[in-house]
Chain A
Amino acid sequence: MEKLLEILETIQPDVDYDTCTTLVTDNYLDSLAILSLVAELEEEFDIEIPTVEIVPANFNSAQSIWEMVQRLEEE
């Protein structure tokens, strides 16, 4: 989780990732940030994030991103 927070901080520093649950809905993470994030997560955690996973529910909070990463790591 710490590594994920580090990645998020480098991509979009102006957000409180401990409390924010509307990262996509409120446009803190725009489509370009999502592209960066996906590339970084795939590299860091050696996973493949398919298009079907790119939904607000998976990217709206640090926790939901982390849960998606863990799920994809297990697959």
Chain B
Amino acid sequence: MSYQAPLFLLLFFPLTLLAYQLVPQKHRWKILLGASYAFFWSISGKLLLFLLLSTFSIHHFGLWLDSIRSDADAVIRAAEKPQRKALKEARKHKMRGVLALGILLQIGTLLCLKYANFFGANVNLIFRGLGMAEVIPTFQWMLPIGISFYTMQAVSYLTDVYRGTVNADRSLGRLALYMSFFPQLMEGPICRYSQTAEALFSGTPIRYESLTRGLQRMLYGLFKKMVIADRLNIFVNNIFNDYHEQGGIVILLGMVAYTCQLYMDFSGIMDMVMGMGEIFGVKMPENFRRPFFSKSISEFWTRWHITLGAWFRDYIYYPLSLSGPLKKTTSACRKRLGNHFGPLVAGTMALFCVWFCNGLWHGAAWSYLFFGMYHFFFIMLANLTEPLTRKVLDALHIRRDKGWYRIFRILRTCCLVCVGELFFRANGLKAGLSMFRKMVTDFSIPAPQDLALGLDRYDLLILVVAVLIVLMISILQEHGIPLRKKLAAVPVPLRWSIYYAALMAVILFGAYGIGYVPVEPMYAGF
């Protein structure tokens, strides 16, 4: 059962809404928790145990961290001033040990379930290369749904308790709901405890406004997912699964189509998730902000899967680059290399770790690691060449954020992103390299019938119109026009006509039924 499935949309979600609204406010969180566990069970069955263990574990470790802090604080307050520094250090040391253990349990479980076979296979490969027998067996483990997402939430909760930005939660139920809230279980967004826990627990009643606004956003997401992304699926699969038979131009089209499919799928599901949250009065952090208007790769990652980027920034990049040794490196380098190149040394080391983890987070395969390193390379290159770029642009009197140069930067970023997605989608790194080689060397013009690849004229027309609609909405949003506010001000008959038209568009033009294969949300696999 996934978010666009009829079972979910016509039965599970309405029943949950009904039950939620009918019970007294103080018990509503129990409905959400029950629905979340039922949703998890419907996909991953007994693997629910992993989610429960994760929840119990962070509950226990959170309280442990809290008790160390409060005990130590009492001692520090009673101590003489000269002794306080040493006592604070001892507290920090103890808490750091507990935090490390708590995180190790979370990340260790993820590593075992998601990455054991990948590491095992590569170790075996080395052994085989040395003429020795394989030593690591292969495991047939199933992955609990959303483990990569809820593990990130668990680590952020523990770290925030350690840092003192949130208090440890004594309520196991509230923590369990924070970890498992069903709309975000499959694909995020990766929320911080401080962003959603309280709202989830409060049982905000469903009002006409929250219901209509939420459904409106869900509908837009469903449109992106079912009309565009799922329709592109056939075309993309035909090209990527059969790339040996395709010329460079067809592969280029496949690459652009896949990038479009991934965006419409992931951002469409995110719209649905945000809409569901809105109905329950839970405002989750946005995961997309029109990424294809980005002027650089680093900007792209502040607009695409925003919560993942923010997680890596707050829990890996800054802690690493501002850790003792790297901070000293920055200070030393700044004196010798100046303001720009000085921090670059520490920044690049931390950035490498971020992109290594980012690549690996997406999946246990070399192609994902390549994907991470690919983005690391272009961000590092932009950082390194920044002073030179600035000088050249100043000399030529070109303003980087205006006019044709801005458009050039946007197009350049789109091209780089598309190539990255080619490797991301390809069936392995070898296939990705082979497709890329073909794309830049084989310029044979395909016959029109070779371009269809599972799509007829009707499909193409729907795709073009639907993409233009999304593009138009995105351009208006990019210019700061509050479309939803404007829509709310439209007279009721016209507003509801728009809603019905959108609903009809999904029902009539959605890529489901005969001739189409149901497509699971693409990021749920990560």
* Contact A35 B165, beta carbon cutoff 8 Å: no
Indicate if B327 sits at the interface (CB-CB under 8 A): yes
- Contacting residues, chain A, for B331 (C-beta < 8 A): 39, 43
The chain B residue sitting closest to A35, CB to CB, is B343
**Which residues 316-339 of B have a CB within 8 angstroms of A?**
317-319, 321-322, 327, 330-331, 334, 339
**A52–B347 touching, CB < 8 Å:** no
Q: Are B330 and A36 in contact (CB under 8 A)?
A: yes
**Residues of A with C-beta under 8 A to B346:** 35
The distance from the CB of B463 to the nearest CB of chain A, in whole angstroms, is: 34
Q: Which residues of B contact A33 (CB under 8 A)?
A: 343
Q: Taking A31-B317, A51-B319, A51-B322 as contacts, is the C-beta distance between A36 and B342 under 8 angstroms?
A: yes
A68 shortest CB reach to chain B, Å: 14
A27 at the interface (CB under 8 A from B): yes
Which residues of A are found within 8 Å of B313, using beta-carbon distances? 31
The residue in B298, B313, B343, B383 that gathers the most chain A C-beta atoms within 10 A of its C-beta is: B343
Which of chain A's residues have a CB closer than 8 A to the CB of B318?
A: 31, 34, 51, 54
Q: Which residue on A lies nearest to B331, using beta carbons?
A: A39
Is A19 an interface residue when CB atoms closer than 8 A count as contact?
A: no
A5 at the B interface (CB under 8 A): no
Which residues, 47 to 69 on A, are CB-close (under 8 Å) to B? 49-52, 54
Interfacial residues of chain B within 281-334, with CB under 8 A of chain A in the complex: 298-299, 302, 313-314, 317-319, 321-322, 327, 330-331, 334
A72 to chain B, nearest CB (A): 14
Chain B nearest CB from A21 CB (Å) reads: 17
- Interchain CB contact under 8 A, B347 and A32: yes
Query: How many B residues touch A, CB cutoff 8 Å?
Result: 25
CA gap between A50 and B163 in the complex, in Å: 9
Flag whether B340 is at the interface (Cβ < 8 A): yes
Most B CB within 10 A of own CB, among A11, A49, A54: A54
Q: B525 within 8 Å of A by Cβ?
A: no
In the bound complex, residues from chain B placing their C-beta under 8 Å from that of A34 are: 318
Docked Cα-Cα span, A21 to B26, in Å, equals 40
Say if the beta carbon of B518 comes within 8 Å of chain A: no
Q: What is the minimal beta-carbon distance from A59 to any residue of chain B, in angstroms?
A: 11
Chain A residues with Cβ below 8 Å from B322 are 35, 38, 49, 51, 54
Pick from B299, B302, B339, B347: contact of A10, CB below 8 A. B339
Contact B299 A35, beta carbon cutoff 8 Å: no
The winner among A27, A30, A36, A50 for most chain B CB atoms within 10 A is A36
Partner of B334, one of A27, A39, A50, A54: A39
Interface string of B147-166 (1 = CB under 8 A from A): 00000000000000001110
Question: B344 at the A/B interface (Cβ < 8 Å)?
Answer: yes
A69 to B344, CA, bound (A): 24
Note all chain A residues with C-beta closer than 8 A to B319: 51
Task: Assess A27 versus B299: contact at CB under 8 Å? Given A35-B322, A51-B318.
Answer: yes
Is the CB–CB distance between B334 and A36 below 8 Å?
yes
Residues of A within 8 A of B299 (CB): 27
User: Can you name the residue of chain B whose Cβ is closest to the Cβ of A52?
Assistant: B163
Contact code string A10-48 (vs B, CB < 8 Å = 1, else 0): 110000000000000001001111111011101100000
* CB of B135 to closest CB in A, whole Å: 39
A31–B347 touching, CB < 8 Å: yes
Distance between B298 CB and nearest chain A CB, rounded to angstroms:
7
| Best-surrounded residue of B313, B317, B318 (most CB of chain A within 10 A) | B318
Residue numbers of A with Cβ under 8 A of B are 10-11, 27, 30-36, 38-40, 42-43, 49-52, 54
- List the interface of chain B (C-beta within 8 A of A): 163-165, 298-299, 302, 313-314, 317-319, 321-322, 327, 330-331, 334, 339-340, 342-344, 346-347, 383
Please list 30 pairs of residues, one from A and one from B, whose beta carbons are closer than 8 Å in the complex, sorted by A's number: A11-B339, A27-B299, A30-B298, A31-B313, A31-B317, A31-B321, A31-B347, A32-B340, A32-B347, A32-B383, A33-B343, A34-B318, A35-B330, A35-B346, A35-B347, A36-B330, A36-B334, A36-B339, A36-B343, A38-B327, A39-B330, A39-B342, A40-B334, A42-B327, A43-B331, A50-B163, A51-B163, A51-B314, A51-B318, A52-B164
